Structure 1
Amino acid sequence: MKKLIFVIMASALLLSCNRENENMYENDLSDIATVDNSAQSTKFFLNLDNKERLYTMVSDLRYYRPKDGQRVIANYVILSNKSDTSTYNHDVKLIDVYEILTKGIFRIKPVQQDSIGNDQIEIRQMWIGSDYLNVEFSYPGYNKIHFISLISDSTKTYTDNKIHLEFRHNANGDYPSISKWGMASFDLRSLQSNATNDSLQLVIHTKEYRSTGDNTYSMTYKFNTPSLVSARKISIPKNAEKAY
C-alpha cells in the first residue's frame, strides 16, 4: 500500500513538473543580442538591441560557451527582474540560440573582387540595431559553403554625401537546389570616424533575384541608438544555414 501511495505521489509530482515546464516555455521570448562573455564561461550576459541586459543564470545548452561579441538570436525565459540599481535587467533561462554570422565591413581591393563574389540573393529584411546592420536573407544552394560580406569599394565614387556599401554573396559554385535561410550582422562602428554629428546616411547596394540591376536600401545610422526591431518578427526556419 505504501509503495502504491509513493508511485501515485511521484506520478503527480512528475505531472506537476511537466506542466510547470510547459507553462514556462509558453512564456519564452526571442531577441537579437550581442554576447558579453570575455571569460568564455557557460554563464554570460546578453546585451539586447533595445539596450536591456540579461544574465543567463540557467541554460538548456549545458556546454555552450559563445565567444565575446558574437551576435545571436536568443530564445529564453525570464526568471526574475532585477532592481533599478543592478547592472543588468533580468536573470534568464537560455532555451536555445541561433548564432548570427557576425562580421565587420571589408574594404575591398580590385584583386579581391572575384573571391568576394557578386551572386544574386534574396533580402528578406534589413535594419540597423545597436550599431549593427542586420540582414535576413535566403538563397538556393545544396552542399557548399556560401560566403556573405559587407564591403566598401573605394574605386566607386558617389556625389550624394552618403556612405555606400555593398552586400555581397559568393555562392561558391553551389548547385541551386534547396532554398536556405541565413542572417548576418555587420559592425558599423568603424564608420563613426567619418561623421560630423551623431548619425550617418547609408546606402546598401544588393544584387537580388527578379532584378536586372542593383537594388538599394537607404537608411540612417544613429550611433548607440536602441532598436525596436525584435527577433520576435523572425521565425527561424528549418532550412536555416550557416554562411561564412
Structure 2
Amino acid sequence: MKKFRTILAAFLLLFITTPVLQSCLDDWDDDEHPLLAIGTVRIIDGKDYYFALDEGTKMFPGDTAQVDNYTLVEGQRAFVYFNLLDEEVTGYDYNAKINHVENILTKDIYFMPAEKADSIGDDRININNMWITDNYLNIQYQLYHSNSNDKKHMLNLIVNEASDGKNDKEGYITLEFRQNAYGDEPLMPGQGLVSFKLDKIADRIPGKTGLNIRVKSLHDGEYYKTIDFKTDEN
C-alpha cells in the first residue's frame, strides 16, 4: 500500500485549528494521531462506499465503528479523519479506520434570473484559495459575521442570466461567487470551505480553459479570478 500523501497540508492545518471543527473533534477521542484528507463520498450498490480523495486516490473505509451513524450521500464532500490500516484492499490505494467525517457544504451551481438577485444577495466575501477536483470547484473563503448561532449566511455559485458579458474572458466560463449575510453584523472574521458541483455547466466545459469567477471582496471590491481546468498528463 502506498504511503499516504498529505494534501493541501497548510490549508488543512488551518481548518484543524478553527473552533467549528474543533468542537466536532471533541466528540471522539483517538490517541493514534489521525490523518486528515478531503474527499468525496462515492456509494457502491446503494450501501457500500469509499472516499475519492482530492489527491486522486481511493480510500476504503475498512473500520467504520466510530462513524456508524454517518449518513451517506452520494457526491457529498467531506473532511475525513482516519488512521491507515496495514491490510491492503484490492482496487484501493488506502485502507483506513475512519475516526470522524465532517461534511463540507456541497451545492449545485444556480442559474440566477434577474428577479432573484436580491434573494441571492451580493455581500462582501473573500476567495482565499480555490481548486478543482473531480467534478467540483472548491472555494476556501473568508467573511465577517457576528458569531451568533441564530444568524446563517447563504453561499452560492451562480450563472448570472442578466449579465451583459462585458467582464467575460475568452476561453473561460464566467460564474459569480455570492453571499447573502441576511443582515448579520460584521463583527469578526471567519472562514470556511464550500464545494460546488460542476454538473449543471458540463455542456459548456468542452473546449474551455477554465472558470472566470467574479467576487465582491471584503476590501478591494469587485474583481475576477480565474482557475484552469486540469489537463490529463500523457
Say whether the 8 Å CA contact 1:81–1:89 is kept in structure 2.
Answer: no
User: Is 1:174 the equivalent of 2:184?
Assistant: yes
Pair 1:210-2:188 in alignment = no
What TM-score does the superposition give when structure 1 sets the normalisation length?
A: 0.72
1:98 equivalent in structure 2: 102
Compared CA separation, residues 68 and 45, structure 1 to 2 (3 A): same
The equivalent of 1:13 in structure 2 is: none
- Residues paired across the two proteins, number: 197
Q: 8 Å contact 2:70–2:101 — kept in the other structure?
A: no
Q: Percent identity?
A: 28
**Matched residue, 2:193:** 183
* Structure 1 letter corresponding to 2:185: Y
Do 1:133 and 1:187's aligned partners in 2 also have CA atoms closer than 8 Å? Answer: yes
CA contact (8 A) 2:126 2:215 kept: no
Q: Is 1:193 the equivalent of 2:203? A: yes
Residue among 202, 208, 222 paired with 2:230: 222
Q: Name the CA distance, whole Å, in 1 between partners of 2:54 and 2:193.
A: 15
Is the contact between residue 42 and residue 74 of structure 2 (CA under 8 Å) also seen in structure 1? Answer: yes
TM-superposed deviation, 1:205? 0.8
The answer to whether the aligner puts 1:163 opposite 2:173 as a matched pair is yes
TM-score (norm 2): 0.75
After TM superposition, the structure 1 = structure 2 runs for residues 1-244 of structure 1, keeping only pairs within 5 Å, are 22=31, 25-26=32-33, 28-37=34-43, 41=47, 44-59=49-64, 60-80=66-86, 82=88, 86-142=90-146, 143=148, 144-156=151-163, 157-158=165-166, 160-161=169-170, 162-197=172-207, 199-211=208-220, 213-222=221-230
Q: Unmatched 5+ residue regions in structure 2?
A: 1-29
Displacement of 1:69 in angstroms is 1.1
Supply the AA of the counterpart residue of 1:216: Y
Q: CA deviation at 1:222?
A: 3.0
| Cα RMSD after superposing both structures | 2.3
Secondary structure of the corresponding residue to residue 217 of structure 2: coil
SS at match of 2:104: strand
Greater Rg by CA: 1
Deviations along 1:109-152, one digit per CA (max 9) or x if unpaired, are 01100000000113221121222111111222232110000001
- Contact map agreement 1:127 1:134 (CA 8 A) in 2: yes
What does residue 10 of structure 2 align with?
none
The amino acid of 2:137's aligned partner reads: L
Shift, 1:56, TM fit: 1.4
